[in-house]
Amino acid sequence: MIFYIIMGVAAALFLYTISVYNRLVKNKNMAEEAWSGIDVQLKKRYDLIPALVNTVKGYASHEKETLENVIKWRNMGVAANTVKDQENAEVGLSAVLGRLIALSENYPDLKANANFQDLQKQLSEIENAIQLSRRYYNGVVRDLNIMIESFPSNLVASSFAFSKRDYFELDKAQREAPEVKF
């Protein structure tokens, strides 16, 4: 009789471990898929930036420092290998993109340029998609991190070397959106 009880408890623990492991794998894969969604939107943004810079360059060639900073931060974003590196690049890029768009106030011909207006619209749409992707990613990471930290699933997570993921967050400076008038 004791043997059957011990075997029953062992079987229940084994099934529980399998269940938790499978949920951890699911959440890890969802986090990777969510990061891929962010990556796609960032690539669209990075591909759009040279066209935006070239359009502005034609009207505001003496704004060389701003244009160079946009390209510098874009390249840092393209080269980023970690969530934290990507975060830092996005903070810098958002700041200089705001200044680049604000330049249109000083150049009425640029502001009226149909290509510039279209690029602004595309950039705005991409920024919205990045925000949605970031929210989804952070939600999935939250769920994964909770499982990794909560008892008793943390025992399974540590046994199989699951590790917490970083959130893709904004720093305090980026949370305060610059005022840009179109």
Q: What is the pLDDT of residues 65-99, one digit of tens each?
A: 888 888 999 999 999 989 989 999 998 998 888 88
pLDDT at 171: 57
- The vertex-177 CA angle with 176 and 179, nearest 5°, equals 125
Alpha-carbon span 32 to 172, nearest angstrom:
26
- Phi first, then psi: what are they for 177, rounded to 5°? -65, 135
Local confidence band at 111 (pLDDT 50, 70, 90 cut-offs): confident
Element (H, E) at 146: helix 114-149
Alpha-carbon span 110 to 56, nearest angstrom:
7
More confident call, 141 vs 176: 141
Q: Is 80 exceeded by the pLDDT of residue 108?
A: no
Local confidence band at 179 (pLDDT 50, 70, 90 cut-offs): very low
Q: What is the pLDDT of residues 125-174, one digit of tens each?
A: 999 999 999 999 999 999 999 999 999 999 999 999 999 999 998 654 44
Q: What is the pLDDT of residues 10-68, one digit of tens each?
A: 999 999 999 999 999 999 999 999 999 999 999 999 999 988 888 887 777 667 788 88
For residue 119, how many other CB atoms are within 10 A of its CB? 20
pLDDT at 53: 86
